[in-house]
A and B are shown apart, each in its own frame.
Chain A
Amino acid sequence: MATVETREIRKFFGDIAAVNGINLLTRDGEFLVLLGPSGCGKSTLLRMIAGFEKPTDGELLIGGTVVNDLPPRARKIAMVFQSYALYPHMTVFKNIAFPLKAQRMSKALIPQKVDWAASLFGIGHLLARKPRELSGGERQRVALARALVREPSVFLLDEPLSNLDAQLRASARDELQQFQRRIGTTTIYVTHDQVEAMGLGDRIVVMKAGTVRQIGTPQEIYAEPADTFVAGFVGSPPMNMVRHRDYTLGFRPENFHPKILNGNTKVVGFRFSVTRVEYLGADRLIYGTLIGDFSDQKVIARLPATVTVKIEPATSYDFTVPESELKFFDTATELRIAPRPV
């Protein structure tokens, strides 16, 4: 068990900064998710922690020791790749046994350890197969078993669920979290999928253009975004952003409701001209523009199916947002600012 720490870590490819000064400290046994759009540097950061890329600048610590100059095999880490990277010419047994052999574990112990890891993921019956004879979900389990088998101090996972179909992904997410809770190993998980990040992470690190924009629990990231990027990136549909005077006003679609629904709370009112209504089963998404003070800015409202108020396209309605749900951002710096009267 160990923590991972980065101090002002940077990685340049030529003149381009893939990772530009990141300070990060995991807690022991934490499930930390690196979240960001593609090209934000999250994979590069993970590859630096793994030791595949050398940082241009800054320090990397695992378990309190600087590991900048250690090769991957000396870092006591295990990694699961997006492609799973199973050795195609080896059976499942040999795949899982490979890290143990590389550690020079005694030959008598290896089968026991392999059986133990395989049973954790329910793949004991697949040990004699080659990777190409496995389904996507089975391959993913083999990759996890291979990573787990030598009990690393840190787990690195690089989008391990993105090659699974949607249904399998949901159950794999669940299993992954349970498994991580059980073994309690510090885990760093890279993804561009905010649903995965919200569902799995103890804390989420939101990254953009090689820098960290916010670190926090899923609740903090969602409810109190640090800037307009985080506000827009997390949540689907994203937070509505409305320019107003010298600042930007943000509110979540699920807090943007017809006036009659927000009864007693203190609210801010908007005139909302509806252009389209999308029925999604559990929700209704209502697309339109604000009129009046906030002229012609596009926003989305999300009403649960339990709200049966009639909303028609090409009609204007009075909508409101509770004052407590309004977030304020500086238009120039995009950073969160203190609430002010609207």
Chain B
Amino acid sequence: MKSPVPIAPAAQSSVAEQKRGFAILDSERWLGPLLIGPAVIYIFLLVGVPFFMALYYSVSNTTTGGGTMGFVGLRNFTAVIGTPKFQTALKNTIVFGLISQAVILVLSNALALALQHEFPGRRLIRFLILLPWVAPISIGTIAWLWIFDSTYSVLNWMLRLAGLIHGQGYMWLGLPHLAMGSVIAVHVWRQLPLATVILLAGHSSIPQDIHDAAAVDGAGFWRHFFQITLPLILPISLVALLFGLIFTFTDMVIIYNLTRGGPFDTTQVLASLAFYTGIAGGDLAEGAAIALFLFPLLLAVALGFLIIAHRSEVT
């Protein structure tokens, strides 16, 4: 046996130092908290603190002017619930959310089904479909603002060209139902890419053998879709729907840019009403109360969906 080669003292000490440096990184007790720490701090400062502030604001009498921060109990809630402005906004939020999500689910399913198949230019189409999601939303909405413009509307021009309307054309954002329809259309345009991508992932997770088995077992298109494909992508569809609903209930960019809640508050939703009341109107407390109104409901919806998604296991 040979004796081990002696190590020079300098080299030995540097090895020891290195060891100490690695010791922290090697220890699970320290490495874990070290790595997750920044994320926790980030979430606490940017999500946690504002959320709890909003909770407190909603039961206080604070305004943007500052000053008082007195506790007033549920007065903000009781005061706002009775107002027609709030009730319209609540109704609009539900209409806006449900209709847009229903349309998105149907369209994204159709798109995902179509994009499953190989065809020339599939990559280009997939890329184009993703565009509304990656484009800055404000810019996209402003483009839509021009499309819906009362005088220069491209939409009216096209309809006129197609011989479907004559004369002046529609005031897309100026009439209550048309305005709501337009806002929903833009919202669908905006959210469709994400839902499609989620469902595409869901579709590709179904093994080809299952589809082949259904084909050889005699299933036609509808039976195949409703009895095989749909149940298998149900969990991931629910995730898409959950994201979509929460996003819809909390977002106001499209409404802010297109209609500012008008005409006559017919497109006002809770998120935009909270903004106009709390920030533009200065009544921070009432704004917070409006913004938080849907929170318990959304929480329940989210929990329900997650439970269903968890139950309908797919293997």
Contact = CB atoms under 8 A, between A and B. Distances in A.
Interface of A: 47, 50-52, 71-73, 75, 77-79, 81-83, 85-89, 98-99, 101-103, 131-132, 146, 150
Contact of B312 (A51, A87, A89): A89
B207 A83 contact: yes
Given A88-B232, A132-B315, A78 B216 contact: yes
Contacts of B137: none
A85 B209 contact: yes
Nearest to B235: A89
B217 A52 contact: no
Contact of B213 (A51, A81, A132, A150): A81
Contact of B212 (A81, A86, A87): A81
B209 A89 contact: no
Nearest to B209: A85
Given A52-B215, A88-B315, A73 B232 contact: no
A150 B223 CA distance: 17
B3 to A, nearest CB: 41
B210 interface: yes
A50 B207 contact: no
A99 B210 CA distance: 13
30 contacts: A50-B216, A52-B215, A72-B215, A72-B216, A73-B215, A73-B216, A73-B217, A73-B219, A75-B216, A77-B216, A78-B217, A79-B216, A81-B212, A85-B207, A85-B212, A86-B213, A88-B210, A88-B232, A88-B313, A89-B231, A89-B232, A89-B312, A98-B214, A98-B217, A98-B219, A98-B227, A99-B217, A102-B219, A102-B220, A146-B213
Interface residues of B, number: 21
Contacts of B314: 88-89
Contacts of B219: 73, 98, 102
Contacts of B214: 87, 98
Contacts of A150: 218
Given A71-B215, A73-B219, A87-B214, 11 more contacts: A50-B212, A52-B216, A81-B209, A85-B213, A89-B231, A98-B214, A101-B223, A103-B218, A132-B313, A132-B315, A146-B213
Q: Which of A47, A50, A77, A79: most chain B CB closer than 10 A?
A: A79
Contacts of B218: 73, 99, 102-103, 150
Interface of B: 207, 209-210, 212-220, 223, 227-228, 231-232, 312-315
B144 to A, nearest CB: 40
Query: By CB atoms of chain A within 10 A, which of B210, B217, B227 has the most?
Result: B217
A162 B228 CA distance: 25
A5 B223 CA distance: 30
A230 B217 CA distance: 35
A73 B231 contact: no
A85 B220 contact: no
Nearest to B234: A89
Contacts of B312: 89
Given A79-B212, A81-B209, A81-B213, A73 B313 contact: no
A85 B210 contact: yes
Contacts of A98: 214, 217, 219, 227
Contacts of B228: 87
A50 B218 CA distance: 12
Contacts of B315: 88, 131-132
Given A73-B218, A132-B313, A79 B213 contact: yes
A61 to B, nearest CB: 18
B215 A51 contact: yes
